[in-house]
Structure 1
Amino acid sequence: MTSSTNKSTNLDSALANLADIVDQRRDAFKAGNADPKVSYTALLFSKGDDGILKKIGEEATEAVMAAKDSRHAQLAPEQQKLLVGEMADLWFHCLIALSQFGLRPEDVITELESRLGNSGIEEKAARKAANPE
């Protein structure tokens, strides 16, 4: 059985590798070397902030619906596969957004690690107190 440390390292590595590819394709698009008619990633970057963020909303909705369908189907294998596929789509589009804003999945991992051992309720209250808007 793979240890959770190895799984974490593999996950971090896989996300970093995929983020590297996304960043390369973003740079190629910006340099005029990626055609949005040929590259889906270039197409996403061609839509700018609003288009990328709208796509995340669409993918999040699809992931939620797949999760609901999975629960109703009592996690039948085909429904699990659909849920995993929708989550993969969502994560991919989140990587696009991170790249668009000059961020990396490592930034998200660092933030999540900083929250380990903290009560989620207390952490949220502290953020709300710091930004009372």
Structure 2
Amino acid sequence: MSGFTLSDLEKIVDIRSKASPEESWTAKLFAAGQPKAAKKLGEEAIEAVMAAVTGDRDNLTYEAADLLYHLLVVLKIADIPLQNVMGELERRTAQSGLQEKASR
């Protein structure tokens, strides 16, 4: 198992966001802005869903990696640290999913 974490990926996204758009896909997404980055996130989500529905485990793994990467790009553009998302997940795990839904 890899020691690579989402926090590691978040740091890479941060570094690459400051590169030249001609040299970095991440920088190109940042230069294009949130609408383009969010559209790409949606495309990757659909591809992950399709891989899951067809039962293609290798492709689902590949698409899940794309999805996580693009989510971190969208979060970074919105200036939302991964730590905030993890905090929300931690808060939600303090109660059952059914209780959490009922509280909305």
The TM-score with structure 2 as length reference comes to 0.88
Hey, what does 2:15 align to over in structure 1? 24
Find out whether 1:97 has 2:74 as its counterpart: yes
Count of matched residue positions in the alignment of Structure 1 and Structure 2:
104
Find out whether 1:56 has 2:41 as its counterpart: yes
Which has more radius of gyration? 1
Please report how far the alpha carbon of residue 39 of structure 1 lies from its aligned counterpart in structure 2 after TM superposition: 0.9
Hey, what does 1:43 align to over in structure 2? 28
Q: Deviations over 1:62-101 (max 9, x none)?
A: 000000111xxxxxxxx21111110000000001011111
Divergent runs of 4+, >3 A:
none
Structure 2 residues not aligned, in runs of 5+? none
User: AA paired with 2:25?
Assistant: Y
Please report how far the alpha carbon of residue 106 of structure 1 lies from its aligned counterpart in structure 2 after TM superposition: 1.8
Percent of residue pairs identical: 43
Hey, what does 1:122 align to over in structure 2? 99
Hey, what does 1:131 align to over in structure 2? none
> Aligned-pair RMSD on alpha carbons?
1.9
| Partner of residue 15 from structure 1, selected from 6, 29, 33 | 6
